[in-house]
């Protein structure tokens, strides 16, 4: 057999990605405490909760169904799922630890042994199949007690609780986990503070000083985590994790170019600059001044941030974003998570997310040029409805096409000289969608029989894309 050319390095980390609250279920089991995801409703209510001010973080059992309470029951079925990942040839599996399994209320002195033991079992199972875990420490699921009684990340106390949590997990899993990430999509706090920063905006004012104070606390917490990780697990790598959507100016009007640049600075680079370069970027001073943002920065914070920066940059890539200074309503790209106008060159997914594989090559080049650190694409994928009404595997060619084009774009970026560590396709097994709280927006190579109304057997089955991705990994990206 002739050896096919592949741009991917031989130790490239192929795999898939998930988050605890979107797969585990096991609601209340093993002494797990309540977290934000446990009180987020599903369906259209979820989007309004995430986008409108004044959510009260109460469980309303009369009114809502809570998809995250069973999710896909990974809590009980992890062995079967990990065996399927192994069959696809995964080198890595990205998952998150639920903070509330380890510290059910967030502010206890001692960790919960049952929670620690659960992840021991999961990591052992992964290692049995030669799969390395890539662990997100906090993925949209702050303990509810910290939200309600402390005000989420606005409180400095939370930094202390987080430090306790990371120390407990680094000590416990130091021999089992070598890839870590601090906060999932940390910059998402700018558009979804409930998930990213653990509080609900009440008024316009909250978007400024309280929001950026919460970010500051996360930056301090992130540096403390990096410091502890390097001390406790010297052979581990710990990264940040951002949403990255390159911002294109709508046209060559310099006003639009400048506007796109400003959006890019604030959204794409603000958090990463602090976590990677170890300092607040120059551009943020003007934004702070113009919005009367004054931060309470304690002695030693800036030195800590400077000294303990991340080892790599993890990022999610779903779409690019196009900006013009003056927008009309018709031009808005409705489905995109971020504001922006429709890009006339791009098609969109069923949820209106604009599909732009070339944008991934742009993103990889931009990030590598700016930071010169290894990059890791830790989320990417197509949310789509699958048709189960077929003989044999679900024919998800749309998913294969999307992933193929994005993997090709990564190959091109590697040829451009970008140092790319790996790729974990989002929702490698169908899971609860973060923005809709529903099952019908599916990303997986593995179908899970669970429906939006909560019905279904939880049975797993392989889609066409399962076999395709298996071949991609087996040939290190040569057969796509």
Candidate ranges 60-68, 69-77, 146-154, 435-443; the one touching ligand BGP (CB under 6 A)? 435-443
Q: What does the per-residue mask of binding to ligand BGP show for 165-194, with x meaning CB under 6 A?
A: -------------------xx---------
- Which residue, 211 or 316, is less far from ligand BGP as judged by CB? 316
**Smallest distance, Å, CB 383 to ligand BGP?**
4
Residue 426 lies near ligand BGP (rule: CB under 6 A): yes
How far is residue 436's CA from residue 68's CA, in Å, rounded to a whole number?
11
Which residue among 383, 422, 444, 477 contacts ligand BGP (CB under 6 A)? Answer: 383
Of residues 294, 379, 405, 459, which has the active-site annotation?
A: 379
Residue 475 lies near ligand BGP (rule: CB under 6 A): no
Residue 319 lies near ligand BGP (rule: CB under 6 A): no
> What's the Cα-to-Cα distance from 97 to each of 70, 238, 309, rounded to whole Å?
16, 15, 22
Residue 406 lies near ligand BGP (rule: CB under 6 A): no
For the question of residue 205 being annotated catalytic, the response is no
Which residue among 19, 190, 310, 425 contacts ligand BGP (CB under 6 A)? Answer: 19
Residue 448 lies near ligand BGP (rule: CB under 6 A): no
Instruction: Please spell the DSSP secondary structure of 96-148, one letter per residue.
Output: E--HHHHSTTS--SS--HHHHHHHHHHHHHHHHTT-EEEEEEESS--BHHHHH
Strands 460-462 and 446-448, sheet pairing:
antiparallel
> What's the Cα-to-Cα distance from 432 to each of 16, 86, 427, rounded to whole Å?
15, 22, 9
- Which residue, 424 or 433, is less far from ligand BGP as judged by CB? 433
Least Cα distance to 221 among 244, 189, 177 occurs for 189
Three-state secondary-structure class, residue 198: coil
How far is residue 433's CA from residue 440's CA, in Å, rounded to a whole number?
8
Give all strands (DSSP E) within 349-435, no chain letters: 354-355, 375-379, 420-426
- Please return the burial class of 167, using the count of CB atoms within 10 Å of its CB with bins 0-12, 13-18 and 19+: middle
Contact positions with ligand BGP (CB under 6 A) in 278-317: 316
How far is residue 234's CA from residue 336's CA, in Å, rounded to a whole number?
40
Which residue among 434, 439, 448, 473 contacts ligand BGP (CB under 6 A)? Answer: 434
Least Cα distance to 400 among 464, 318, 320, 478 occurs for 464
Candidate ranges 38-46, 75-83, 259-267, 433-441; the one touching ligand BGP (CB under 6 A)? 433-441
**Smallest distance, Å, CB 318 to ligand BGP?**
7
Residue 320 lies near ligand BGP (rule: CB under 6 A): no
**Smallest distance, Å, CB 124 to ligand BGP?**
25
- Which residue, 213 or 316, is less far from ligand BGP as judged by CB? 316
- Which residue, 145 or 436, is less far from ligand BGP as judged by CB? 436
The set of catalytic residues is 379
Q: List contacts with ligand BGP (CB under 6 A).
A: 19, 184-185, 316, 379, 383, 426, 433-436, 441
């Amino acid at each position: 057999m002739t050896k096919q050319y592949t741009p991917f390095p031989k130790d490239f980390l192929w795999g898939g990605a998930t988050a605890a609250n979107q797969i585990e279920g096991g609601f209340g089991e093993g002494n797990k405490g309540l977290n934000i995801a446990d009180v987020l409703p599903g369906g259209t209510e979820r989007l309004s909760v995430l986008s409108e001010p004044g959510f009260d973080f109460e469980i309303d059992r009369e009114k809502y169904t809570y998809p995250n309470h069973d999710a896909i029951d990974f809590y009980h079925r992890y062995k079967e799922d990990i065996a399927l990942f192994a069959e696809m040839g995964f080198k890595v599996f990205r998952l998150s630890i639920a903070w509330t399994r380890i510290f059910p209320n967030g502010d206890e002195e001692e960790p919960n042994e049952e929670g620690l033991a659960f992840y021991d079992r999961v990591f052992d199972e992964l290692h049995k199949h030669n799969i390395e875990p890539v662990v997100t420490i906090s993925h949209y699921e702050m303990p509810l007690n910290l939200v309600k009684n402390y005000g989420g990340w606005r409180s400095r106390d939370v930094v202390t609780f987080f430090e306790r949590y990371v120390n407990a997990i680094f000590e416990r899993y130091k021999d089992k986990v070598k890839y870590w990430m601090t906060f999932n999509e940390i910059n998402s706090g700018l558009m979804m503070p409930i998930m990213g920063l653990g509080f609900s905006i009440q008024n316009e004012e909250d978007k400024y000083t309280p929001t950026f104070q919460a970010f500051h606390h996360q930056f301090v917490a992130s540096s403390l985590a990096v410091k502890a990780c390097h001390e406790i697990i010297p052979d581990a790598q710990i990264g940040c994790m951002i949403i990255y959507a390159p911002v294109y100016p709508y046209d060559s009007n310099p006003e639009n170019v400048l506007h796109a640049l400003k959006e890019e600075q604030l959204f794409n680079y603000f958090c990463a600059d602090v976590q990677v370069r170890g300092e607040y970027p120059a551009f943020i001073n003007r934004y702070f001044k113009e919005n009367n943002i004054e931060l309470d920065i304690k002695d030693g914070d800036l030195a800590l941030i400077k000294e303990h920066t991340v080892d790599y940059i993890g990022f999610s890539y779903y779409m690019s974003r196009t900006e013009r200074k003056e927008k009309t309503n018709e031009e808005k790209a409705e489905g995109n998570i971020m504001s922006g106008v429709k890009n006339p060159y791009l098609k969109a997914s069923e949820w209106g997310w604009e599909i732009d594989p070339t944008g991934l090559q742009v993103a990889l080049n931009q990030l590598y040029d700016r930071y010169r650190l290894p990059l890791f694409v830790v989320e990417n994928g197509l949310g789509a409805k699958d048709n189960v009404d077929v003989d044999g595997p679900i024919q998800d060619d749309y998913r294969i096409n999307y992933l193929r084009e994005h993997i090709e774009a990564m190959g091109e970026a590697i040829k451009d000289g970008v140092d790319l560590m790996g790729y974990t396709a989002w929702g490698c097994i169908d899971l609860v969608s973060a923005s809709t709280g529903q099952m019908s927006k599916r990303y997986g190579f593995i179908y899970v029989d669970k429906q939006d109304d909560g019905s279904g057997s939880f049975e797993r089955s392989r889609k066409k894309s399962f076999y395709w991705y298996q071949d991609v990994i087996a040939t290190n990206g040569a057969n796509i």
